[in-house]
């Protein structure tokens, strides 16, 4: 009897040891109701060229309705992919930034007509800086919709001309008038022919104290190098000065010129718009002490409400899954962050 019990205990262990490992990669399922003639799975972010690469389907062998296709990434550590099905009727089904490490089966169900490609850079007229401008100030901004850039109201207030430098080094002109909210210190600029992808806002969960954040922008233009700067920090408080609930306090260091730049979480989603740093000299005059590294950003929720009033529809994505490195978040921000020059 004792020998029988030992054998009975060993059998489940042997069965578990021989259990097959789950298949590698992830599975894409076509739930669109139309067969797909092309399938693309590209590690996100795709880059400023918005290139989808080659289709994974064999020519002449479409992915049928409710059919599945297994994708095995060349990098087993890669977790985030942009997915795209091109359907037989010409429509596309696109799912950006899918965490395939958390979800090994991804269904694409909705489809729409493909967006027209942006005009070639050579056809978009450039607007170089006016070297004779008597009064110039600078700031930062980021793409929140097609041909739309968000920044601070104080960055563009009183400007006779607003031009933006793209990550590729081209100068484009903003078309007046800007949509502004002086109370929130936010503005939206129309910039025809704007390249680069849209930065998505965070759809949830709510931001918490202690979360890591990345500020990206162009501080101290004319003093520091002309390339954008990244600073990493944390959310220190869920309100601004005098309990301003439209702002959050952050430890990511910002300087003049960072104003209007994106504040991103560690998924690369917008959680705020950099707006100011505490005036240490004034605080020292009142308290006798020098406050250090106290900075603020307009909450993403307030920014989204402003965009609704401005009739602009941004992208929003939930922040979930494995966090990215600060360098990866910087790569995401870089493609969509603009240097803003205000000429008066």
* Sign of the CA dihedral with 198 first, then 202, 208, and 211 last: negative
Can you tell me whether residue 226 is helix, strand or coil? coil
Find where tokens 């969960």 sit.
Answer: 205
Q: Return phi, psi of residue 42, to 5°.
A: -120, 135
Q: Which of 259, 276, 319, 336 is catalytic?
A: 259
Q: List residues bridging with 82 in a β-sheet.
A: 42
Residue 154 annotated in active site: yes
Q: What contacts 300, CB < 8 A, 6 or more positions away?
A: 201, 202, 207, 270, 271, 272, 273
**Number of alpha carbons in the 13 Å side-chain half-sphere of residue 100:** 27
Reading the chain (344 residues) residue by residue, the pLDDT tens digits are 555 444 444 555 555 555 566 678 999 999 999 999 999 999 887 765 567 889 999 989 999 999 999 999 988 878 889 999 999 999 999 998 898 988 999 999 999 998 776 666 667 789 999 999 999 999 999 999 999 999 999 999 999 999 999 999 999 999 999 999 999 999 999 999 888 789 999 999 999 999 999 999 999 998 989 999 999 999 999 999 999 999 999 999 999 999 999 999 999 999 999 999 875 455 555 555 556 689 999 999 999 999 999 999 999 989 988 899 999 999 999 999 999 999 99
Q: List residues bridging with 231 in a β-sheet.
A: 215
Q: What is the pLDDT of residue 21?
A: 63
Q: What contacts 152, CB < 8 A, 6 or more positions away?
A: 139, 185, 186, 187, 259, 260, 273, 274, 275
Q: How far apart are CA 180 and CA 319, in angstroms?
A: 28
144 within 8 A of 272, measured Cβ to Cβ: no
150 within 8 A of 303, measured Cβ to Cβ: yes
Q: Which of 44, 82, 140, 154 is catalytic?
A: 154
DSSP class of residue 155 equals: H
Q: What is the pLDDT of residue 97?
A: 85
Q: Which of 140, 185, 251, 276 is catalytic?
A: 185
Strand 186-190, strand 148-151: pairing: antiparallel
Residue 259 annotated in active site: yes
């Amino acid at each position: 009897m004792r020998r029988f019990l030992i054998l009975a205990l060993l059998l489940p262990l042997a069965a578990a040891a021989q259990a097959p490992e789950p298949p590698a990669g992830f599975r894409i399922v076509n739930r669109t109701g139309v067969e797909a003639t092309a399938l693309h799975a590209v590690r996100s972010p795709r880059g400023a060229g918005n290139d989808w690469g080659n289709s994974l389907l064999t020519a002449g062998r479409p992915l049928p309705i409710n059919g599945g296709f297994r994708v095995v990434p060349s990098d087993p550590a890669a977790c985030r992919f942009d997915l795209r099905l091109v359907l037989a009727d010409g429509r596309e089904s696109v799912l950006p930034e899918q965490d395939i490490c958390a979800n090994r089966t991804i269904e694409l169900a909705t489809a729409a007509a493909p967006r027209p490609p942006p005009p070639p850079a050579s056809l978009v007229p450039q607007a170089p800086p006016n070297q004779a401008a008597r009064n110039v100030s600078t700031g930062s901004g980021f793409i929140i919709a097609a041909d739309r850039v968000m920044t601070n109201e104080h960055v563009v207030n009183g400007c006779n001309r607003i031009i933006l430098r793209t990550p590729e080094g081209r100068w484009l002109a903003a078309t007046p008038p800007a949509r502004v909210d002086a109370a929130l210190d936010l503005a939206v600029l129309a910039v025809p022919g704007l390249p680069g992808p849209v930065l998505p806002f965070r759809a949830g969960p709510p931001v918490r104290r202690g979360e890591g954040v990345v500020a990206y922008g162009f501080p101290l233009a004319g003093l520091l190098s002309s390339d954008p700067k990244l600073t990493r920090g944390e959310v220190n408080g869920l309100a601004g000065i005098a309990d301003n609930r439209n702002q959050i306090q952050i430890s990511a260091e910002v300087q003049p010129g960072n104003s209007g730049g994106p504040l991103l979480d560690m998924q690369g989603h917008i959680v705020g718009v950099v707006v100011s740093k505490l005036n240490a000299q004034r605080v020292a005059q009142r308290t006798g002490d020098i406050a250090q590294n106290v900075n603020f950003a307009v909450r993403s929720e307030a920014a989204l409400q402003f965009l609704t009033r401005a009739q602009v529809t941004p992208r929003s994505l939930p922040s979930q899954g494995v966090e990215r490195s600060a360098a990866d978040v910087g790569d995401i921000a870089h493609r969509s962050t603009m240097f803003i020059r205000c000429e008066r």
